[in-house]
Amino acid sequence: MKKVIIASVIFAMVVGLGIAFADKPADGTTGNGAPKAKLLGKLNIIGVSNPKNANMDNAGGGVIFVPLNSPDAVGDVPKGTKIWLTAGDFAVLDKNGTDSDGAAFRLPNPDPGNTGSTSYSVYVRGLGKPGQEAKIKSGFLENGVWWVSVDAEEVTVTHKMEQNNKFVNVSRQLLYVWVDIDDDGDVERIPLFYGPTAREYFWNYDNNGQRLCQLRFYDTSSGPYEDPESGN
């Protein structure tokens, strides 16, 4: 009788372990889709119905406020809130994206040599109700001309980017600008903060009701990403 009981217990333990292993995330990721790597920084982009009135320059923290619904474009300025980017340690420099000058965020140079591989990675997920979304593109302003990534490199943030609101790696889209800078018909890979110092880099956040967008930055490389011009 003891042998039967012991065998039953062992069988149950094996089955239980099998279930645990089956539910375990894929190697290199956690249960929420984020990588198993050191968390370097956080940024929550919050959509609000009413503009913020307070001066939020150098306010710190990990939050940026943007309009819940982006106003229509004016002239050749891309539709959406501009989150202006500068190189350095992770920090929110201006959390009020509801005013005319947009918000500001600081993050390290992701690929100084334009190798196509990043020194860290950025993941995103959206939380909120179904039917809401925001679209994010990287870009830069140079000599009065607005450059934003081609539509194929746009990030669409929804309440359920993957099953169970998991984080998605968007390093390719948010750490590079993908444009035909030479006007030769080939889309080129331009890392943030790369090229002439006159370029002012930004994320263009076009909101359509998205209440919360979570960005997380991890100490792990992503890529290599192709340079469409060279075919590598």
Domain boundaries, the chain: 37-218
Q: In angstroms, rounded to a whole number, what is the distance separating the alpha carbons of residues 23 and 19?
A: 6
Q: In angstroms, rounded to a whole number, what is the distance separating the alpha carbons of residues 68 and 135?
A: 12
The residues that bridge with 230 in the sheet, in sequence order, are none
Beta strand ranges found along 58-211 (DSSP E) = 63-67, 81-87, 91-94, 103-107, 121-127, 133-142, 145-148, 155-158, 168-169, 176-179, 188-191, 200-208
- Closest-CA residue to 170 (of 136, 219, 206): 136
40 touches 30 (CB < 8 A) = no
User: How does pLDDT run along the chain (232 residues), one tens digit per residue?
Assistant: 434 333 333 333 333 323 222 233 334 666 788 999 999 999 999 999 988 876 666 666 899 999 999 988 888 999 999 999 999 999 999 999 999 899 999 999 999 999 999 999 999 999 888 889 999 999 999 999 999 999 999 999 987 766 667 899 999 999 999 999 999 999 999 999 999 999 999 999 999 999 999 999 999 999 999 876 544 4
140 touches 200 (CB < 8 A) = yes
- Closest-CA residue to 42 (of 120, 132, 159): 120
Q: Which pLDDT value is given to residue 17? A: 29
- Residue that is written with structure tokens 């290199």 in the block: 28
Q: Which pLDDT value is given to residue 53? A: 76
Q: Which pLDDT value is given to residue 161? A: 65
What is the pTM (predicted TM-score) of this model?
0.84
Q: Which letter, b or e, does each residue of 135-172 get, where b requires 16 or more Cβ atoms within 10 Å of its Cβ? A: bbbbbbbeeeebbbbeeebbbebbbebeeebbbbbbbb
- Closest-CA residue to 44 (of 202, 169, 210, 163): 210
CA-CA-CA-CA torsion sign (127, 128, 130, 134): negative
